[in-house]
Amino acid sequence: MPLLIAFIIAVVVVAIYARRNTGTRACRWREDRAGSKGALIKYNCITCGAEAFRSTGIPDRCMSGQGGASKL
């Protein structure tokens, strides 16, 4: 059984580490009307500098891991 317990602990540690790496909840999006294109409103993340275009509202997660600006 010790092996099973060690395995469970390892999975939990990896899960926590992976979640910490994403940093999605640290992002704070700010609307940038000057960069908007029609119905698409430009948002800048003031935390990591990522850019995103959305027509439905503020992005709910960070785009920094996807090369910055998103292409709908």
**Residues of this chain that bind Zn ion (CB under 5 A):** 27, 45, 47-48, 50, 62, 64
Q: Tell me the closest approach of the beta carbon of residue 71 to Zn ion, in angstroms.
A: 17
SS3 of 50, please? coil
Q: Tell me the closest approach of the beta carbon of residue 41 to Zn ion, in angstroms.
A: 16
If the CB atoms of residues 41 and 50 are measured against Zn ion, the closer one turns out to be 50
Report CA torsion sign: 26, 31, 37, 38: positive
d(CA 59, CA 10): 32
If the CB atoms of residues 10 and 30 are measured against Zn ion, the closer one turns out to be 30
Q: Tell me the closest approach of the beta carbon of residue 4 to Zn ion, in angstroms.
A: 38
| Residue 39, phi then psi, degrees to nearest 5 | -80, -15
